[in-house]
Structure 1
Amino acid sequence: MNAVEIEEAVSQLAEAPFDAEKFPFAFLEAFGNKATTIKRIKSGNSNQSDLPGGVLQRNNIHVKVCAEGEVTVTLTALRESAATSRYKAKFILATDGKSFEAENLADGETIACEYQNFSDHFGFFLALAGITTVRQIRENAFDIKATGRLNRLYLELQKQNPDWNKAERQEEFNHFMARLIFCFFAEDTNIFHSEGLFTQTIAQMSATDASNTHEVLSEVFRAMSTPLKEREGLGIRSWADRFPYVNGGLFSGSLEVPRFNKIARSYLLHVGNLDWKKINPDIFGSMIQAVADEEERGALGMHYTSVPNILKVLNPLFLDDLRSQLEDAGDNRRKLLNLRQRIARIRVFDPACGSGNFLVIAYKEMRKIEAEINHRRGELEQCSEIPLTNFRGIEIRNFAAEITRLALIIAEFQCDVLYRGPQLALLEFLPPKQENWITCGNALRLDWLSWCPPTGTGVKVQREDLDLWGEMRDEAEIDFENEGGETYICGNPPYLGSTWQTTEQKNDLKRVFEHRTKLWKSLDYVSGWFMKAADYGTQTNSAAAFVSTNSICQGQQVPILWPLIFETGHEIAFAHTSFKWANLASHNAGVTVVIVGISNHAHKVRYLFSLEDQGKTVVKETENINAYLVAGSNVIVEKAAKPLGDIFEMLRGNTPYDGGNLLLSSEEVNRLNLSKEQRERFIRRIYGSAEFIRGLSRYCLWIEDEYLEEALTIEPIRERIETVRKIRLASRDKGANAMANSSHQFREMNTAKTYMIVIPRVTSENRPILPVGILSDRDVIGDRNFALYNAPLWNMALIASRLHWVWIGTVCVRMRTDFSYSSTLGWNTFPVPTLTEQNKIDMTRCAEQILLAREHYFPATIADMYDPERMDSEFPLVREAHDRNDEIIERIYIGRRFKNDTERLEKLFELYTKMTSQQKPGKKSAQRKKDK
């Protein structure tokens, strides 16, 4: 269950008649426990409580319903219960149906309220559902509750009005929902000059069977779209005439309303009875967008873009500079006035604005600075000089664009109330401004200079679609004076790696890149925004910063994208290395992202932000940040055919190209009925990445040429070889056709003379160590692995080091969030200092200790031992062996342990730059070894 579904379930439980016997189980069910789990607890099989009538779910919660007036005493009993401690309950909860008390045993936080109000605290318990980002939910519980109610209304109206759910009317339907949201907010904030006016009017004037609800709403909307002086003679009903003129585009156009049934009317009134003063425009837009987006509705409540994360973009982009100037100004009236005038001309432009989170937060933060200026100048009632038209956006989804504008209007009103007082805010709010400063369109196809032109130029927008509020307008009608000075481009564009892009998205990238590089097909979709921002910056006084998947700063994308960015004169002004862009999904920690800020007038000092293991953000000041987000020169790591240093050559595993006919399960091997000698001669164990990491068993036919004639006398083997021959001959690949002559063999037949050091091609980034290991000369590796054949064991120590882990994670390609190991890009480029014989002896001993530590835990697999949640507690000897390995190797590099991964990368890039610069064109690298 997601946060919205949980809130709805908890609210329904709180509203239902209290049933003391059923409450504990209904509470657990509301937080996503399955019926089978509830049944086991009810039967007593998994109820661990030691209190009469108590219910204890192991590792979750201890609940007890008590007699009236004994809630506090019962909570104490739950806290002191031996079972609570023994079975590691996270929460304790006591209620008598009148009062409700609970405690989070991890941090001691408590809640106490009347029973019917406990649903307001649903965020307190979300850890029960596996959702850990509860602080944000508690702070914005209203947004989640409102989203859930709106979603129910939306779905019911869809069911009742199937014609409104068709593509041609979807924008009209979404526009209707935006009108409702505005009315709910306006009636609770005195914009309608009478609290509850909208909901009360619907309740009183529409029939209980909902037969005329659509007519009542349409009449109210008609009144709000008509100026007061023009209403006479239009026959507007007296109960609708009480509503003020709003228009501003929001109530212009069609006034048709979908039909309601009794359920939809009930939902409408329920939503209206919420306290909309609590709306938080920072994130409300993205929550509401989920209501109208069929794909996102399945993840309703999971989309939370936290304010701290957004400020990681906005603060170093420009807000920190404004705050610094405010501090420097002190009480100097002239400096304060100059700063206020500068702020009034700053434009914030989000060309993938979604529902407006970045724009709303930027606006609120700038208003906060402006308010402090006005306070210091003694101008508390000063009208804001920051125009909403300076917060511009492009969004491909029509409803999201509407919600962005609505969220900004709400943010402006809330800021006016906060900084100027309710009376002045209400006086100047209606009608909302009508300028069109959020456009619906494809940002990679629109001309950003037309939408956000250089200072002093008028705005004439090239439209792709309908106007924001549903009408076509002439260009002259949407012109407005360009208020901008400097422009800051920001946002969280869609990421989409090359594999998952649609044909249309591929064409978008083609338009941006085809005249620059032939390799554009390998780029992530977000690359288009970086390129267009860099192009925009060559024509304007601007800087840009985007959230992006970290893949654009890793592997093959770096040499494709970043030289093009740098050619425009832009440099990386600041960056935040990889972190989780968290959301509210119960089993989704969020995608791993980076933040990259670019500018063609970057300051001499650049800021590189990174997270330490404890989650603390550290800031490094540096003269340059390269495309890998490392403090250092702008080096690009290119594939290398041979190793850079004194390390052994790595080969890819053997490719069968056999349609599965050279591979066998243990059962298939047994069915061959081979003698012991034949099995020894023709069968070997083969390891793909899964077999190597998870300890799975798989076998293959391994037939040397000298034994082919004997193998063909075994009918099942002969049949398999013949099938392979036919498959290879039928292939369009000429190389495969040529392999038909040796259809008894893999394409490569590489094996070790002694042993081989094996590294899988793909491994999870969640493993703290690359899963390298040893296989014997009788084993075979498939093409999902790489191997160093007969290499000294100290090479394994290098691969197992944290240094190598961070290098691979930075310079190699990613498969989603997994590391995709590459011999040419990862191993051959890995910078290793000159090693002494003693260094090699020490590293050999480290590798041996790692292997012995693993042997100690046999039959545990690599997957078991390197599970990040189990490694330290269950396999401490393995962790200790790797710690010793890192200590030895890092001392070889710098004489001490590195402080963090950032420092590791800085040293590796420094060494890489030095080693590659020493190589002359055409000259081979230092000693390279290959032993097959």
Structure 2
Amino acid sequence: MNAVEIEQAITDLAEQPFDPAEFPYTFLEAFGNKATTIKRLRAGASNKSDLGGVLQTSNIHILTANAGQVTQTLAALKASPATAKAKAKFILATDGVDFEAEDLTSGETVACAFKDFPDHFGFFLPLAGISTVRQITENAFDIRATSRLNRLYVELLRDNPEWGKAERRHDMNHFMARLIFCFFAEDTDIFGGKGKFTETVAQMSARDSSNTHEVISTLFQAMNTRREDRAAAKLPRWADSTDFPYVNGGLFSGSMDVPKFSKIARSYLLHVGSLDWTKINPDIFGSMIQAVAEDEERGELGMHYTSVPNILKVLNPLFIDDLRAKLEEAGDNARMLLNLRKRIAKIRVFDPACGSGNFLVIAYKEMRAIEAEINRRRSEPDRASEIQLTNFRGIELRDFPAEIARLALVIAEYQCDVQYRGQKLALAEFLPLRNENWITAGNALQIDWEQACPAKGTSVKLVGDDLFQTPLEQSEIDFSNEGGEVYLCGNPPYLGSTWQDASQKADLQAVLGRRTNSWKSLDYVAGWFVKAADYCARSPANAAFVSTNSICQGQQVPILWPLIFATGCQIHFSYTSFKWANLASHNAGVMVVIVGLSAQPPALRKLYTEALAENGDRLALKEVANINAYLVPSVDVIVEKSSRPLSGQAEMSFGNKPVDGGYLLLSRSEVDALGLNEKQKGRFIRRIYGSAEFIRGLERHCLWIEDEHLTEAEAIPEIARRIEGVRAVRLASRDTGANEMAARAHQMREMRIGHRWTLAMPRTSSELRPYLPVGLIDSYSTVTSEAFALYDAPLWNMALIASRLHLVWIATVCGKMKTDFRYSNTLGWNTFPVPTLTEKNRADLTRCAEDILLAREHHFPATIADLYDPENMPADLRAAHERNDEVLERIYIGRRFKNDTERLEKLFDLYTKMTASAAPAKGKKRKAGANA
């Protein structure tokens, strides 16, 4: 269950008559516990309570109390030995009138009336396995409002199916935007009295809801009619009231159509209006509401919260930190403060993938806070803000999020005015809304960004309708911004090349097709980076986007980054990989980077790194001379594939490719079915490993027939049948190489096997494993093309591959397939920088490899997957790897590296020197395995 569904379930629970016996089970059901789990608790099989309540291990201890005994009951739960033994995270006591609970981990408590406990639903979200952030717990209103709006939206579409069709979807979304404004306005005194809109609908619409749509339409008409025009409009007296002012701004212009309401829909509307909309948080509310209106996103309702701290990771180093530093520098100097205020007033923030405006809203609020402090220091606290909403520009593909983005900014402006100037001044200047359109609805990769957000001078004069009307286009904004700064920011759509549809491919081709023939391999987000670089190269602008880390890894680096660097832009700050967490269950999130671009970067660039657990206390900032495309503090270098190892390590080859239609590969049962004697098995059968077989211990075999044994093999009918099957498959292939291989249908395309042993390295491996799963197989086994092989290589080569150093190199230069490391011999192994090794170095590393193999053997028959489970890795195996890392890293720098950033910094330094020294000798062949 997601957060919105949970909120709805516990709200329903709070509204039902209190049943002491059923409450604990219904409460747990509301947080997603399955029927079988509840059944086991009811039966007592998993209920560990020693107080007659319900105790779910590692979760919660619930006890219904006698009337007036809630506090005492909570104390009993806390003192219960069973609570401690079962490691309960929460305790909860209620008598149906009062409600108390405690988070035993943090010590935080809830105490409220029973009917109000849904207001605290965010407190209990960990019960559903939902990773929360403090902003959600403290701003639970946004989810409650979204939940109710979603119920209203779905019910209206059920009653008015035509409003759900493409031709009317904009009308429906526009109607919802109007409602949201009314709910906010009636609770913040923008309308003349708290709850005035909801009360009027309740009073003037029939209980059978037959005229609800007419009442709402009339109110909308009133808000679109100037005071001097109302007599001519012949509005009814209840609507022609000072309580419903002229709003303007395009929000209530156009069609006054309202969908018809059923009794249920009317009830939902009144419930939504009964919430306290002064608590709306425009930072996140927009993206929540966006999910209501998007069919494909409604299933993820409640998972669209992007934490404010994450957004500030983009905005702070992009420009907010600099503004704060200048504020600190100014102190109480009136002239310096005035100059800073003038500077802030000219800053434009531009999000060319703005969605419902989260980044723009946060930027606006941060800038208003700095401006307010300037005004305080200058003794001008009531001064009107000089920061214009029209300086916060955006492009959004869909029209409804674009509307919500503007609405969120309007609400943020009003809330800031209330906070910094007081309610009276805020109200006096809020209405009517301005008509300027500063959010453009359209395809950001097809739109000229300098028209959507001119960097300086007056804006380009495009003719368009008001924002809240369709189509949403950039219209004239008539003020000069000479000397101003522009900051591009946002979280554009990622979409790897495999997942792009035809229109998205066309977008990328339009942006990149003339620059590179390899654009098809790029993520969709690459289009935003290239357009941002072009914009920054021509204007006084800097940019910073969130992106999946794939654009700074593997094959995308040599395609994308030379194009960006060619514009003159460089990376002026970055965050290395971290989890961009949303409000989602089971810690859902995607690994991202933040990359800042500038054509005029500072002398020192800022490189931020943090733990994958997103623990802010572990955030590290390093100021460096340069950040390269791999987000490493090193010179700009692109790691190119090499046909041979550049550091003298052994040659790594592809495994054997069968090209056999399945006839040469056999399961254990298929081997038995051949009816071979032991001598024949030894001659014709080999164990064979690909990635899955090696990592998960799966058993697979192959026919291995040397030419001199072909006649003997063909005398065995089943083997002869399989050889003929291979021949037929290869002859039928469209590949001429496969056709030629039909002449030796008894063999795979390659026939490689180690005489002593083979070091096997799977081509794919989970990113969750702390080390790459390299290992040793005997001379009677071989590998498929789903693994790489070092045939008869010295064991110290295994020590290199099994190291943390090599893992971070592979993760950086080879990249990933989905979430798996995708190993490459030419890009990862052959380029891996290794210092010159002495005989002692090789001997020490050989011993380290042997220790790793012995530790694995100690846990036989555990598989690689078992042994390298990050949560269950055996202590002796982990110690063996730690020893290996210790020995190897001392060879590199005489001590252990502090972190992966330092590891990569050293590796890139070595790679740069290694390739520079090798350049003059280009074309000369180095003897493979020279250091072996």
TM norm structure 2: 0.97
Shift of 1:458: 2.8
Q: Which SS does the other structure have where 1:592 is aligned? A: strand
One-letter amino acid of the counterpart of residue 498, structure 1: S
Offset at residue 551 of structure 1 (A): 0.7
Structure 2 stretches lacking a partner, 5+ long: none
**Partner residue of 1:300?**
301
Residues 490 and 544, structure 2, Cα contact 8 Å, conserved in 1: yes
RMSD: 1.7
Which of residues 822, 844, 848 is equivalent to 1:846?
848
Match of 1:804 in 2: 806
Cα pair distance change 1:896/1:462, threshold 3 Å:
farther
Match of 2:689 in 1: 687
In structure 2, what is the Cα distance between the partners aligned to 1:748 and 1:609? 46
Is the alpha carbon distance of 1:732 and 1:474 closer, same or farther for their aligned partners in structure 2, counting shifts above 3 Å? closer
SS for the counterpart of 2:177 is: helix
Counterpart of 1:861 in structure 2 is 863
Cα distance between partner residues in 1 of 2:876 and 2:650: 28
Q: CA deviation at 1:843?
A: 0.5
Question: Deviation of residue 681 (structure 1)?
Answer: 2.5
Does the C-alpha gap of structure 1 residues 849 and 473 become closer, same or farther in structure 2, counting only changes over 3 Å?
A: closer
SS of aligned partner of 2:447: coil
Amino acid at match of 2:127: L
In 2: Cα distance, 1:717 partner to 1:199 partner: 82
Q: Quick one: which amino acid aligns to residue 494 of structure 1?
A: P
Residue 782 (structure 1) aligned with residue 784 (structure 2): yes
* Amino acid paired to 1:237: P
SS in 2 for 1:591: strand
| Partner-residue secondary structure (3-state), 2:232 | coil
SS of 2:154 mapped into structure 1: helix
TM-superposed deviation, 1:110: 1.9
Bigger shift: residues 601-610 or 450-459? 450-459
Is the 8 Å Cα contact of residues 451 and 460 (structure 1) preserved in structure 2? no
Q: Distance in 1 between the 2:295 and 2:675 partners?
A: 56
Shift of 1:723: 2.5
- Note the C-alpha offset of 1:217: 1.0
The residue number in structure 2 matching 1:283 is: 284
Paired residues of 2:204 and 2:215 also in contact (CA < 8 A): yes
Shift of 1:832: 0.1
1:757-784 deviation line (CA, Å, top 9, x unaligned): 1111111111111111111111121111
Distance 1:612 1:259 in 2: 52
Query: Is 2:661 the counterpart of 1:659?
Result: yes
Amino acid across the alignment from 1:558:
V
Identity level (%): 66
> TM-score with structure 1 length normalisation?
0.97
1:397 alignment counterpart: 398
**Letter in structure 2 aligned against 1:302:** M
> Map of 1:829-840 to 2, 5 A cutoff?
829-840=831-842
Distance 1:405 1:660, change over 3 A: same
In 2, the alpha carbon distance for the partners of 1:142 and 1:467 equals 30
Is the 2:436–2:466 contact (alpha carbons within 8 Å) kept by the matching residues of 1? Answer: no
Distance 1:98 1:176 in 2: 38
Separation in structure 2 between the aligned mates of residue 588 and residue 681 of structure 1, nearest angstrom: 52
Return the alpha-carbon distance in structure 2 between the equivalents of residues 640 and 78 of structure 1: 65
Cα deviation, residue 29, structure 1:
0.6
The Cα shift of 1:630 comes to: 0.7
Please state how far the C-alpha of 1:240 moved relative to its aligned partner. Answer: 1.5
Shift of the alpha carbon at 1:680? 2.6
Deviates more, 1:831-840 or 1:103-112: 103-112
Query: Equivalences for 1:191-230 in 2 at 5 Å?
Result: 191-230=190-229
Counterpart mapping for 1:169-568 below 5 A: 169-242=168-241, 243-461=244-462, 468-471=467-470, 478-483=476-481, 485-568=484-567
Q: 2:916 maps to which residue?
A: 917
Q: Give 1:925 deviation, angstroms.
A: 6.8
Q: What is the letter of the counterpart of residue 828 of structure 1?
A: N
Cα deviation per residue 1:127-182 (whole Å; 9 max; x = unaligned)? 11111224232022111111111111111111111111111111111111111111
Q: Using the alignment, how far apart are the partners of 1:130 and 1:346 within structure 2?
A: 42
Partner of 1:18: 18
Counterpart CA distance in 1 for 2:704 and 2:283 is 63
Q: CA–CA distance in 2 between the matches of 1:180 and 1:520?
A: 44
C-alpha spacing 1:212/1:132, structure 2 compared with 1 (3 Å) = same
Distance 2:470 2:60 in 1: 54
Query: Aligned partners of 1:472, 1:821: CA distance in 2, in Å?
Result: 48
Query: How far did 1:471 drift?
Result: 4.0
State how far apart, in whole Å, the 2-side matches of 1:793 and 1:381 are. Answer: 75
Cα deviation, residue 570, structure 1:
0.7
What is the CA distance between 1:224 and its match in structure 2? 0.7
Q: Give, in whole Å, the separation in 1 of the partners of 2:264 and 2:256.
A: 22
Are 1:612 and 1:900, in contact at CA under 8 Å, matched by a contact in 2?
no
Deviations 1:782-803 (A, max 9, x none): 1111111110101101111110
Mapped to 1, the partners of 2:466 and 2:700 lie a distance apart of 61
Secondary structure at 2:584 match in 1: coil
Tell me, yes or no, if the aligned pair for 1:645 and 1:926 is still in contact at 8 Å.
Answer: no
CA distance in 1, matches of 2:222, 2:684: 87
Name which of structure 1's ranges 579-588 and 425-434 shifts more when overlaid on structure 2: 579-588
Give the 3-state SS of the residue equivalent to 2:238 in structure 1: helix
SS state at 1:881 partner:
helix
Q: Compare 895-904 and 608-617 and name the one that shifted more.
A: 608-617
Q: Distance in 1 between matches of 2:86 and 2:712?
A: 63
For residue 39 of structure 2, what is the aligned residue in structure 1?
39
Map of 1:71-150 to 2, 5 A cutoff?
71-150=70-149
Do the aligned partners of 1:789 and 1:931 also contact (CA within 8 Å) in 2?
Answer: no
What's the offset of the Cα at 1:700?
A: 2.1
Q: Any residues of structure 2 matched to 1:678-717 within 5 Å, and which?
A: 678-717=680-719
Quick one: distance in 1 between partners of 2:371 and 2:194?
A: 30
Give per-residue Cα distances to partners, 1:338-362, cap 9 Å, x unaligned.
1101100000000000110000000
Residue 922 (structure 1) shift: 2.0
Equivalent AA in structure 2 for residue 668 of structure 1: E
> Cα 1:473–1:131, aligned 2, differ >3 Å: closer, same or farther?
closer
Q: Alpha-carbon deviation of 1:861?
A: 1.4
Q: Distance in 1 between matches of 2:556 and 2:463?
A: 32
Partner-residue secondary structure (3-state), 1:317: helix
Gaps of 5+ in 1: none
Question: In 2, distance between residues paired with 1:277 and 1:570?
Answer: 43
Q: Return the alpha-carbon distance in structure 1 between the equivalents of residues 526 and 118 of structure 2.
A: 43
Measured against aligned partners, the alpha-carbon deviations of 1:261-298 in whole angstroms (never above 9, x if no partner) come to 11111111111111110000001111110001111111
SS of residue paired to 2:231: coil
Equivalent in 866, 869, 872 of residue 870 of structure 1: 872
Whichever residue aligns with residue 167 of structure 1, its letter is: A
In the TM superposition, what whole-angstrom CA distance separates every residue of 1:192-249 from its partner, at most 9, and x where no partner exists?
Answer: 1211011111111111121111111111111111111111122211112121111211
- State the Cα deviation string for residues 280-319 of structure 1 (Å, max 9, x = none): 0001111110001111111111111111111111011111
Any idea what SS the aligned residue of 1:112 has?
Answer: strand
> Does the 8 Å contact 1:31/1:128 carry over to 2?
yes
Q: Structure 1: which amino acid aligns with 2:166?
A: A
Does the C-alpha gap of structure 1 residues 472 and 27 become closer, same or farther in structure 2, counting only changes over 3 Å?
A: closer
**1:627 counterpart SS class:** coil
CA contact (8 A) 2:576 2:608 kept: yes
Contact kept, 8 Å, 1:447 with 1:462, in 2: the verdict is no
